[in-house]
Amino acid sequence: MKPRASLIERDEHLQALGDAISESSDAGCVVLVSGEAGFGKTSLLDTALEILDHRFRVLITACEPIGIPVAFAPLYDLLDELPDDVRRDLRSGAGRPAVNAGMLDLVKNDRLVIVFEDMHWGDEATMGLIRYLGRRISATNSVLIVTYRSEEVDLTHPLRLVIADLGRSAKRIELPPLTPAGVTQLAEGIDIDPVQVHAATLGNPFFVEELLRHPDSDLPPTIGNAVLAGAAQLPEPGMEMLQLVALSPDGVTLDFLISQAPGAGECLDLAIQRRLLVAERGHVRCRHDIIRESLIHALTPVRSRRLHRTLLAHLESEAGVAADIAKLAFHSIGAGEDEKAARYSLQAARQSARVGAHRQAAFHYSHALEFRGSISPDTLREALLEAATEHCLINDFQAASDLARLRLEWTANSVEAARARAWLAYFQSRENDLIACRREACLAIEVLRHEPASEELALALSVTAWVDLVEGDWAAAMANGDEAATLAHAVAATGVEVHAATTAGTARTMVGDPTGLAQLEHAVALGIAEQVGEFAARALNNVGLISLRRGRLDEARDCFDRLIEYALTNELDAWYIAGIATRAWINVAAGRWNDADRDLEAALGQRTCVQTEVESLVAAAMLRVRRGDPGSADLINDALERIEGSTDQELLIIGCALAMEGAWVGIVPVAEAADRYSALMGSATLLQDHSGRAMLAFWARRLDLEPAEGRIVGPAGFEWSGDVAGAVSSWEASGYRLHAAITRACLPNGRLEAVLSELTGMGAEGTLRGLRRELQRRGVRHIPRGENASTRENPAGLTRRQAEVLSLMAAGCSNVAIADALFITPKTASHHVSAVLSKLNASSRLQAVATATANGWTRPGQVIPN
């Protein structure tokens, strides 16, 4: 029998998959199988799983196209296999943490192979589950296999975050296209030119197989035509049956299809025989998504609407599980039934929101709002606020503000409008639009002050306090924040209370008031206990920032680890990315550059707010500058440009520090950095901002600029006051390795050589350059040169050529093979071998290799592959 196209040239990948599964007896793992549509991911899995022994329990499920996003959709296919508690949690919409924990128990207590196919279509609850399980799977003996289409997962795809987060702990198997030789093998015995087939299909195994099945169709063909040609050969009502199946991504029951028209049964049999459809447990679906897509593509609008109606009526007649609401919404939209589309979409949105699947929720809300003509004004106002909140949670602050603004238009009187404005102001604050959000909050406060106390008044006050904080007006931030917190407490608006207390507490800490930290801790505890997700995350974030400002890197990293974990469990993408970005910054500062790089890979390019974006950019630029990588100046400019015009003190300070560091290593004009510095020095806020001043003071010292007015705290303060040794130990204690090293180089008895080699060891090429410049400027002579790779002596006294020969001998090469590898004649090779034997005092090749291996001499040799 001819081999299946999808298994040609897949031996190596099968092997890798098999290895990963068998290694799970030591430690479980995640395997990512990627490849373009039609590259044979499913066939690879089927083959690998077929040969598994009975020790494994295999669960297979798949994600469906985004037409019907449902939280935890793939788990519904596994309901019968799941433990009772997980099933109950899924049905009751208990939310992600419960389901995640239940699934973890499942993989812990059994040897499972769980397959999630087509994760590029995965809902975020399932992605969160994979991330959650993936981080813990090595402690189990189970394997999680995730397949996805590589072409669908671009930089902004949510699956990227998951993949980045799993990092190197996940094993990757990427399926390549077939080679011309592979196509030739398949086309054997068919009257067709394999070269042309390869060219037309680019080696896509699915396309190759389809083409070879219909060798008469014209070349170059479109695959859609090949599929449709097969479908067209079915008797009536074959095409309609196929399209009904295609419109229901996870398939329909055989009984339903047979009841649709006389002769349907025969058509289905034929379609299954011709490998267009597959049937399993009374369920029929398309064999491959490419087939499904081709069939849908060929649908006329009228027929599509009619078929959607049929499917909708069918679904409505069945008592369904929770997952069905999203399907009802999908078919209502397709059927053009506006009222149902609005109603079902809204239900689906609320259901997703309840289980914390915010991306899905936002998606369904958008659909529901498209049909807002069919929604009553009261419901619409509610839905708009809910929709804005969901968008906010997935980092789409602009959409959140737009929805809040739309809600404002739908208000009936001035009080309602003021309430809507308070929320609008909040979403604008998340967008970091300081001016707009202060304006809206003020307008809201003006009206709401004359009304009975309300959550919205507290919110507007709290937003105002936030703007005060960001702009550095700490007294106002404390006053407004405290008032908002008291008010929110009185009306039992816990979320707002946490928001306000966080702001007031942060402002207090800024001016060195010790009660600030207690207020912050209280906000964290309250937020976590009352589960006001977003607000609790912000409180955690600020506690971390405070540690950072006090120069405690380790403590700050712990805080952000906690935030990241919290955001992960509660599906708070915005805070997850914000946490990662800050952790990247911390890791750069602490000299943990590979960790920083990993964080940056996850954070950069994600949709996020300005603060987080700038923070990641600055961290990325710092990393490049310190490593001395090319393009540092460009990255610095990108970061500074993004800060341009901002009134956010924090951003201005980190931007200025970056410019100064750039000037120190010689890639930013010193005058430009000095200008930024003196502009900031003139601002009133910096006078109160101890930590900001301390941060800049370090670089000012390096560039011989005047220190800021007022006392300088922390390590830089020691240095400015002349206590360089104190500065060094203080930097070390805070965890700033690089700062410590640079300062140590300025010690009078500074062991310059040790500092330079420490920096070399860190890979701080750029910093080394800066330090050399500074030392030269200070008139230090005899700056040791960097380490150079020395030419090593061969301990056995072998010549370079002889060492090479020895390596080849160790690799088991014959004289002829050695000759080939070194471009010499076999005779010369044998001379070299004899010389090696005599120098090693060995009587045979084996003995020589043994001696060499025992002494570790085989490694120095090298061979450039032919």
Partner 1 sequence: MPRYLVERTFPDGLLVPPGPPGRKLLGSIIACNSDRNVTWILSYVAVDAAKTFCIYEAPSPEAIRRAAASNNLPVDRITEISVLDPYAYHVS
Give the residues lining the site for partner 1 (CB under 8 A): 168, 172, 174, 594, 597, 600-601, 620, 623-624, 627-631, 763, 765, 789-792, 800, 807-808, 811, 813, 817, 821, 858-866
Torsion sign across C-alpha atoms 383, 389, 392, 397: positive
Q: Which long-range contacts (CB under 8 A, 24 or more apart) does 839-844 make?
A: 839/796, 839/797, 839/798, 839/802, 840/796, 840/806
**Nearest Cα to Cα of residue 683 among 466, 478, 476, 472:** 472
| Distance (Å, whole) CA 392 – CA 427 | 7
- Which amino acid is residue 121, in one-letter code? W
**Bridge-based pairing state of the strands 277-280 and 283-286:** antiparallel
Q: Kindly tell me which of 268 and 808 has the beta carbon lying closer to partner 1.
A: 808
Q: How far is the CB of 385 from partner 1 (least distance, A)?
A: 40
| Distance (Å, whole) CA 404 – CA 402 | 5
Q: How far is the CB of 866 from partner 1 (least distance, A)?
A: 8
Angle between the 737-745 and 724-734 helix axes, to the nearest 10 degrees? 160
Q: Kindly tell me which of 220 and 631 has the beta carbon lying closer to partner 1.
A: 631
Q: Are the C-beta atoms of residues 654 and 615 closer than 8 Å to each other? A: yes
Apex CA 332: angle with CA 326 and CA 335, to 5°?
Answer: 145
Q: Kindly tell me which of 413 and 790 has the beta carbon lying closer to partner 1.
A: 790
**Nearest Cα to Cα of residue 574 among 610, 598, 546:** 610
Q: How far is the CB of 843 from partner 1 (least distance, A)?
A: 25
Region for residue 117 given its phi and psi (left: phi exceeds 0; alpha: psi -120 to 50; beta: otherwise): beta
429: how many CB neighbours lie within 10 A of its CB? 26
Q: Kindly tell me which of 301 and 630 has the beta carbon lying closer to partner 1.
A: 630
Question: How would you label 748-787 residue by residue, b for 16+ Cβ within 10 Å and e otherwise?
Answer: eebebeebbebbeebbbbbbbbbbbebbeeeeeeeeeeee
Q: How far is the CB of 583 from partner 1 (least distance, A)?
A: 17
Terminal-residue alpha carbon distance, the chain: 38
DSSP H/E element including 30? strand 29-35
Q: Kindly tell me which of 449 and 859 has the beta carbon lying closer to partner 1.
A: 859
Q: Kindly tell me which of 451 and 629 has the beta carbon lying closer to partner 1.
A: 629
Torsion sign across C-alpha atoms 204, 210, 213, 218: negative
Q: How far is the CB of 301 from partner 1 (least distance, A)?
A: 40
DSSP H/E element including 34? strand 29-35
**Bridge-based pairing state of the strands 283-286 and 143-149:** unpaired
Q: Are the C-beta atoms of residues 273 and 284 closer than 8 Å to each other? A: no
Q: How far is the CB of 863 from partner 1 (least distance, A)?
A: 5
Q: E-assigned strands of 118-168?
A: 143-149
Q: Kindly tell me which of 377 and 786 has the beta carbon lying closer to partner 1.
A: 786
Q: Kindly tell me which of 294 and 858 has the beta carbon lying closer to partner 1.
A: 858
Q: Are the C-beta atoms of residues 393 and 428 closer than 8 Å to each other? A: no
Tokens of 690: 């101890």
146 forms bridges with which residues in the sheet? 32, 116
Q: How far is the CB of 351 from partner 1 (least distance, A)?
A: 37
Q: Kindly tell me which of 488 and 808 has the beta carbon lying closer to partner 1.
A: 808
Q: Kindly tell me which of 749 and 866 has the beta carbon lying closer to partner 1.
A: 866
Q: Kindly tell me which of 600 and 673 has the beta carbon lying closer to partner 1.
A: 600
Tokens of 213: 């099945």
Phi, psi of 149 (to 5 degrees): -80, 120
Q: How far is the CB of 859 from partner 1 (least distance, A)?
A: 5
Q: Kindly tell me which of 196 and 760 has the beta carbon lying closer to partner 1.
A: 760
Q: How far is the CB of 623 from partner 1 (least distance, A)?
A: 8
Q: Please return the burial class of 860, using the count of CB atoms within 10 Å of its CB with bins 0-12, 13-18 and 19+.
A: middle
Q: How far is the CB of 604 from partner 1 (least distance, A)?
A: 9
Q: Kindly tell me which of 273 and 791 has the beta carbon lying closer to partner 1.
A: 791
Q: Kindly tell me which of 60 and 668 has the beta carbon lying closer to partner 1.
A: 668
**Nearest Cα to Cα of residue 188 among 364, 369, 400, 8:** 8
Q: How far is the CB of 619 from partner 1 (least distance, A)?
A: 11
Q: How far is the CB of 20 from partner 1 (least distance, A)?
A: 15
**Bridge-based pairing state of the strands 112-117 and 143-149:** parallel
Tokens of 376: 């009553």
Helices (H), 628-681: 632-643, 649-665, 670-681
What SS3 state is found at 112? Answer: strand
Q: How far is the CB of 765 from partner 1 (least distance, A)?
A: 5
Torsion sign across C-alpha atoms 339, 341, 345, 348: positive
Q: Kindly tell me which of 413 and 594 has the beta carbon lying closer to partner 1.
A: 594
Q: Kindly tell me which of 81 and 765 has the beta carbon lying closer to partner 1.
A: 765
Cβ contacts of 172 within 8 Å, gap of 6 or more: 31, 32, 34
SS percent in the chain: helix, strand, coil, step 5: 65, 5, 30
Q: How far is the CB of 760 from partner 1 (least distance, A)?
A: 8
Q: E-assigned strands of 130-275?
A: 143-149, 170-174, 252-253
| Distance (Å, whole) CA 620 – CA 584 | 8
387: how many CB neighbours lie within 10 A of its CB? 28
Q: Kindly tell me which of 119 and 556 has the beta carbon lying closer to partner 1.
A: 119
Tokens of 351: 């259901």
Q: How far is the CB of 330 from partner 1 (least distance, A)?
A: 35
Q: Kindly tell me which of 96 and 171 has the beta carbon lying closer to partner 1.
A: 171
- Which amino acid is residue 412, in one-letter code? A
Q: How far is the CB of 660 from partner 1 (least distance, A)?
A: 22
